[in-house]
Structure 1
Amino acid sequence: MTGLALPAIVLMVVVNAYPVIYAGIQAVHDGDLLGLGNFVGFANFQDALTDPLFWRSARFTVIFSLCGVFGSWIIGFALALMLKPDFAGKNLFKILLLLPWIVPIVVSSMSWNWLTATPGSLLPMLAADLGFGRVMFLADPTMAMITVCIFKIWISYPFMMMMMSAALEGIEPNINEAARVDGANARQRLRYIVLPMTARSTYISWILMAMFSVNDFATIYLLTGGGPVNSTTSLIVLAYRSVFQDFRPGFGVAISFLMTAALVTMSVILLRQMRKANMQ
C-alpha cells in the first residue's frame, strides 16, 4: 500500500515544497515581481521588525484573531448547548444558523458594506435615530476595527457551533444524569463535566480558527481594504500590499514567514494543553 501511495506523496511534497523554497529565496533578496534582485540576507526581516506599520498590523492581527477565536467560540458553544436537546424545528434552526458560514464571503461583505459603509446606510441611520449621533462604522478607525471583528465573529460562529455540537454528542448522557442525581446544578455540570470532556475539541477548534483568522485576507480586504488609515490592516493584508502594490516581494514574504513562525509557536502551546487535557 505504501508503494502505491508513494507517487502521490512525492507529487504533493514537490507541489507544496517548491513555492515554500522559492518564497524563502525571495525573502533573502531585494528583487521585484520580475526578478530576485540582490542577496540581502535577513535585511527584509530586520526591516519588517523595525517598521512601525508592521507592529501596528501585528497588534490588529492579534485583536482580530482573539475576537475570531474566542468570540465565535463563546457564541458557537452557547448555541451548541441550546441545540443539544431535541425540539420541534431543531434541524431548520440549525440550518439557519449555518447561513453566515455557507454564504460566500463576497456576498456577506457586500451586505455588511451596504448596511454600514455610508451615512445613508441602514445602521448609521438607525444609530442617528437612537440618539448616538453620526456613527461612521467604516470611516472611523476605532469603529472600523470593531465592525471588522464583529463581522469575523458573525461568519465564524457556525464553524465553532458545529465543532462543539460534535464534541457534545460524544459525552455519554449517563454521566450528566448521574451528576444531576448527585445534586450538581447546571453550572457545576458545565464546569466539571462538559468543559473538561470537550477540551480536546475546543483546543483543536481554537488552533484552526486562529489559523483561519491570521490568514483571513478576504474578510478584511473586502470590507475595509485595510483602512481607514491602516487601522484594520492585518499582517496578511500588509504582506499582500508589500508584494503586489509596493512591489517588494522579499519584504512581503518575510512578513509571511514571521506570521508562520508565530502560528507554529501558538499551535505548539495549544497542542501541549490539549495533551494535558487528555491526560486528566
Structure 2
Amino acid sequence: MTTDTLPERLERARRGVAPGGRGTAPRQKRSGSPLARAGLTLTLFALPSLILLVLLNIFPVVYSFLQSLQQGTPSTLPWETPFVGFQNYIDVLTSTQFRDSAIFTLIFTVTGVFGSWIIGLGLALLLRTKIPGGAVFKVLLLLPWIVPVVVSSTSWNWLVATPQSPIPVILGNFGLGDVNFLGDPVLAQVVVCTFKVWISFPFMMMMMSSALASVDVNVYEAAKMDGATPWQAFTGVTLPIISRTTYISWVLMTIFCVNDFPTIFLLTQGGPVGATSSLIVRAYQYAFQNLQTGPATAIAFMMTAVLVIVSTVLYRQIQKANIE
C-alpha cells in the first residue's frame, strides 16, 4: 500500500503511471518549430538560385562602373583599356552637350509627369460620372498606351515630319506659313514632349481611376453640407485622399521619362542639332556612335543617382501620406 498523498496520486494519474511507479521523465521540447525547420530547408534549396540572381544583377553594375573609370570601346574588356579614374565624369559634367541634354531631360520629365497626370486625373474624374458610353470611351482612351511606340511614332512622323505633312499643310492654309516641326529645335522639343504626354496619360488615368474608386461618396456629401464648393472639395478632400497613389505614379512616371529612349529616338533621333537629345539618348550616342563607353556609362550612373534621390524624396511623401 502506497503512502502517497492525494495530489501525488492525481499527478501520477494525469501522467498515466500505475500506483507506486515512478513514471517517466518529462519529454524535452525539440529546439525550433516545424515551420522554422521547413523555412530553413526551403531557404537552403533556394540559396543557389538566389546567389545566381544576385550575381546576375551585380555583375553588370560592377562591370559598367569599371567601364566608367576607363577609356574604352564596347568591344574592349576592362583590363585591356587604360584607367582614367573619374576623368570621364569630369569631362561629361563640363561639356555643353551634357548641360543641354540635362536641361532637355528635365523639361521632358516635368512635362511628361505633370502633363500626363493632369490629363489623366481630369479624364478619371470625368469617367467617374455617369456618361453615355463611358466604358467605350475608357477603352478608346487606353489606345495611345496600348499601341506599340513604334506605330505611334511612325504616325506622328507622318503627321508633322515634313512641310507636306497634314498638320503643317493645315496650318499653312490658315496663313501660318511653312511650319517645320521637326526641323526647328524649339518646335521639335514641343512635339517630343507632347508625344510623351500623349502616350503616357492613359497610365495616369488608370492609376487615378483606381485611387478615386476608393474615395467614399459620403465624404463629398459631408463636405457639401459644410458649405464647401466643388473646387474646395477637390483640393481639400479628393487630392489628400489620393495623394499616396499620386506620389507612386509620379515616381514611376519620373523613372519612365528619364529612361525613355525609344520615344525620342524613333521620333527625332535626338535632333535637330541635338535639341531633343536627352541624357539616355546622349549616352547611346557616346557608346554606339562615338564608341566611347566611358562617358556613356558615366552618364548612366549619374542618371541613376538622380533617380535614387528623387525616388527617395517622393517615397518619404508616400510615407507621410500613409501616416496621415
Per the normalisation by structure 2, the TM-score is 0.84
Deviation at 1:47, TM superposition (A): 0.8
Of 81, 90, 94, the residue aligned with 1:50 is 94
Deviation at 1:5, TM superposition (A): 4.7
Of 167, 175, 179, the residue aligned with 2:211 is 167
Report what 2:244 is aligned to: 200
Report what 2:293 is aligned to: 249
* Residues in 2 aligned to 1:25 and 1:69: alpha-carbon distance in whole angstroms: 33
Report what 1:183 is aligned to: 227
Secondary structure at 2:296's aligned position in 1? helix
**Structure 1 residues 43, 110: closer, same or farther in 2, change over 3 A?**
same
Higher RCO by CA contacts (8 Å cutoff, separation 6 or greater) = 1
- 1:15 matches 2:56: yes
Secondary structure at 1:148's aligned position in 2? helix
* Residues in 2 aligned to 1:249 and 1:255: alpha-carbon distance in whole angstroms: 10
Structure 2 unaligned spans of 5+: 1-38
Instruction: Give me the CA root mean square deviation.
Output: 1.2
Deviation at 1:149, TM superposition (A): 0.3
Q: For residues 234-278 of structure 1, what are the alpha-carbon distances to aligned partners after superposition, in whole Å with 9 as ceiling and x for unaligned?
A: 000000010001000011000000111111111111112222233
* Residues in 2 aligned to 1:128 and 1:227: alpha-carbon distance in whole angstroms: 23
- 1:144 matches 2:188: yes
Report what 1:93 is aligned to: 137
Secondary structure at 1:30's aligned position in 2? coil
* Residues in 2 aligned to 1:6 and 1:180: alpha-carbon distance in whole angstroms: 58
**Alignment: residue pair count:** 280
* Residues in 1 aligned to 2:68 and 2:289: alpha-carbon distance in whole angstroms: 17
Secondary structure at 1:86's aligned position in 2? coil
- 1:25 matches 2:66: yes
Secondary structure at 2:222's aligned position in 1? helix
**Structure 1 residues 7, 81: closer, same or farther in 2, change over 3 A?**
farther
Report what 1:107 is aligned to: 151
Between the aligned residues of both structures, percent identity stands at: 52
Secondary structure at 1:225's aligned position in 2? coil
Deviation at 1:108, TM superposition (A): 0.1
Secondary structure at 2:276's aligned position in 1? coil
Of 51, 59, 68, the residue aligned with 2:103 is 59
Per the normalisation by structure 1, the TM-score is 0.97
The AA in structure 2 aligned to 1:100 is P
* Residues in 2 aligned to 1:8 and 1:97: alpha-carbon distance in whole angstroms: 42
Structure 1 unaligned spans of 5+: none
Report what 2:276 is aligned to: 232
* Residues in 1 aligned to 2:113 and 2:53: alpha-carbon distance in whole angstroms: 30
| Structure possessing the higher radius of gyration over alpha carbons | 2
Of 75, 78, 85, the residue aligned with 1:34 is 75
* Residues in 1 aligned to 2:127 and 2:52: alpha-carbon distance in whole angstroms: 43
* Residues in 2 aligned to 1:98 and 1:9: alpha-carbon distance in whole angstroms: 37
Greater shift after overlay, 166-175 or 3-12?
A: 3-12
* Residues in 2 aligned to 1:243 and 1:213: alpha-carbon distance in whole angstroms: 20
